[in-house]
Structure 1
Amino acid sequence: MHIETIQITPEILSLIAEIDEFKGAWRALGQLAPETLTSLKRVATIESIGSSTRIEGSKLSDQAISLLLTNLDVQKFTTRDEAEVAGYSEVMTIIFQNYQDIPLTENYIQQLHRMLLQYSTKDNWHSGSYKKTSNHVEAFDQDGKSIGVIFETASPFETPIRMAQLIEWARQCFADKQLHPLLISAIVIVTFLALHPFQDGNGRLSRVLTTYLLLKEGYQYVPYSSLEAVIEQNKEAYYLALRQTQGTLQTETPDWQPWLLFFLSALRQQKQRLENKIAKEQLLMVQLPPLSLQIIALIQSRGSITNSDIVAITNANRNTVKKHLETLVAKQYIQKNGQGKATWYSVILK
């Protein structure tokens, strides 16, 4: 894997130290009210699903995804975008709930890929299996026409061999603890994407694997802040860093720096977003009147609520509740959905 070419620069050390400091601080921050943690996780999950699928071409907004996820039991999807969202949502749930019991093996990675594509009927022929035909990364013009291959991935013949080597290397490195787990995770992801082992879904699966690896290594705050949203906001830099490092992987001196710096910087932005959200939650406790705080807590615990529900639960005057709701919406603490009698309120998605 030529990890001897990794240069542990002061910038890399500083990024790792900052991320690990927050990892330790989360033990205290994680004692937030359960409804607050539930709300943070719900918003982050929606952002992650939306961003990760949009990076690959989906057109669904976070609001549309939020509505779709409230009706997942229907399991009838009219578009491929909806099917991809449903699959991503289920894989995220599996990772959050079972990451401790999921070993890092090829078999489990293939199972996660199968789950990711389970609702997309057009992908049934290849889900859960390594690619059978070449899938080099191409660039397309505004009309969707290919303008050429910009990166050659592993061939179908060598994919199983190189995937086995990658997983064995990662397992050994995590066990030996001679390389920081954030660096191991970064190398696994950039190499996985260079191999592009599956016919489709590699980008989405790489971001699922990132969450899995981080949770596995004790970064327990990850479900409460979306790394995918950070990547979407920095998509050009994301692809540039990937290409700069991937273009050197088959040489004797791979240049890991572009990708490592992007990966660690993205993790820093992820934890900063969470710090900001926590600060906002703590500020709410000081600034808002008791009924407003109660309304926010109800929305956080339930995901959504109507004016009538709030009146019934709090026994507050309907007009008083309405004024509190209007103020909370105006200050962007909550989000108003629908109109008239069909109006309901939810946590705000940013």
Structure 2
Amino acid sequence: MHTLERLSDYRFTASQLGRFRQLGEFRGRQPHTLRQQTEVLDTLRQVATLESVEYGNSLEHISVSKEALRKLVQYEVKPATPAERQIAGYRDVLDMVTEPAEHTNVSSGLIRQLHATLYSHFPHEGGRWKATNKDIVERDSEGNRIGVLYRTVPAADTPKAMEFTVALYHQCLDKMIEPLLVASCAVLDFLCIHPFSDGNTRIARLIATLMLSLNNYDVGRYISLERIFAQNEQVYLDALQLSVKGWHEGTHNPMPWINFFLDSVIKAYEELEQRVDALQNQGSRAPKSQLIAMAIDNADGPFSVADICIQLPTVSRELVKKVVQQKRKDGALKSVGKGRGAHWERVG
């Protein structure tokens, strides 16, 4: 609320204004970009869902095996462990925010519903505002406590703070303020209020995707913003840390967070257009082969054929092996190990 309250006081650099223009151009091209074969878009959506669920939880040190992740995301198994329940809850909320139902409107009730869904696979009930006060602790690179980074809004004041923040969000949109700016500031205020006892950062990222979707920035449906955050995790954390200091007094500087948020959405749109362009330039069998090639090019370290199959559930194992062998012949991959345990590694 302290960020949204001060929107009229902020002054933006030429570089920041350029980011807003660039994102407006991406949104203008979006209908053309997404005018693709259904198969292509479905595959991009499935990959984005897997990555969002994986990285949205790994940022909070919640993880399962890739095979377990795939089965959970595709509703093939029921969650059994605490980590799997967290994964399943995130999957359920992601479905709600990437393709929101008609007439969906941001409200404190909806935010509580998202939190309830996030914890719907646990015995205890989610969706309730925090009952006790909580400080956000600052730690050094080794995890040692330095001190209190900031104090969140007291539990007794949380319901009122959330209602006020939601009202400010809608007032800013009614004033025709750029939705990307409004969304980034609303997410920062949400994090500083810290309305729930647990799950706040995951809900904040999901709310960001929801606000983008509701304002016709649909990139989060096809490219994982969570992955982009995770790939730039230290920059992400530094931006938040710089932007929350002084929030209660209204003296904080939200620009590091706003810049990071805008840059992340820009990266997502650039990746979306690059993937779509690459798929357009291929032949009739190309979409899946090209997606396999992209997955290989984006692999972090050695990978197996099974890893690619898990990441791209709509492609066959035989097609993955064919693309891998072609890349090996082209000198782009080398084998690490033999037999069923064999892995592949990019050359150069």
Q: TM-score, normalised by structure 1?
A: 0.79
Task: Verify the 8 A CA contact 1:49 1:88 in the aligned structure 2.
Answer: yes
Matched with 2:36 is 32
Structure 2, unaligned runs of 5 or more: 293-308, 333-338, 341-348
Task: Verify the 8 A CA contact 1:87 1:115 in the aligned structure 2.
Answer: yes
Matched with 1:136 is 135
- Secondary structure of 1:164's counterpart equals helix
Question: For residues 239 and 173 of structure 1, what CA distance do their matches in structure 2 show?
Answer: 26
- Name which structure has the greater RCO, CA cutoff 8 Å, separation 6+: 1
Aligned length: 313
Amino acid at match of 1:105: S
Matched with 2:234 is 236
Matched with 1:149 is 148
Deviations 1:247-298 (A, max 9, x none): 132234442211111111111111122122223323433xxxx556687799
User: Do structure 1's residue 65 and structure 2's residue 64 form an aligned pair?
Assistant: no
Matched with 2:343 is none
Question: For residues 291 and 21 of structure 1, what CA distance do their matches in structure 2 show?
Answer: 31
With 255-264 and 244-253 compared, the bigger mean Cα shift is at 244-253
Matched with 2:83 is 81
Matched with 1:303 is 314
Identity of aligned residues (%): 26
Deviations 1:200-220 (A, max 9, x none): 011110111111101111112
CA 1:22 to 1:32, structure 2 compared with 1: closer, same or farther past 3 Å?
same
Amino acid at match of 2:30: W
Task: Verify the 8 A CA contact 1:136 1:151 in the aligned structure 2.
Answer: yes
Question: For residues 129 and 192 of structure 2, what CA distance do their matches in structure 1 show?
Answer: 14
The 5 A counterparts of 1:154-233 are 154-177=153-176, 179-233=177-231
- Secondary structure of 2:270's counterpart equals helix
Amino acid at match of 1:197: P
Question: For residues 254 and 48 of structure 2, what CA distance do their matches in structure 1 show?
Answer: 29
Matched with 1:314 is none
CA 1:85 to 1:111, structure 2 compared with 1: closer, same or farther past 3 Å?
same
Q: 1:105 aligns with which of 83, 107, 110?
A: 107
- Secondary structure of 1:137's counterpart equals strand
CA 1:129 to 1:282, structure 2 compared with 1: closer, same or farther past 3 Å?
same
Amino acid at match of 1:130: W
- Secondary structure of 1:281's counterpart equals helix
CA 1:323 to 1:235, structure 2 compared with 1: closer, same or farther past 3 Å?
closer
Q: TM-score, normalised by structure 2?
A: 0.80
Alpha-carbon offset, residue 95 of structure 1: 2.3
Matched with 1:327 is 326
Alpha-carbon offset, residue 145 of structure 1: 6.8
CA 1:61 to 1:241, structure 2 compared with 1: closer, same or farther past 3 Å?
farther
Alpha-carbon offset, residue 16 of structure 1: 0.7
Deviations 1:122-167 (A, max 9, x none): xx15x10000012222245799775543221111011111111101
Question: For residues 283 and 113 of structure 1, what CA distance do their matches in structure 2 show?
Answer: 42
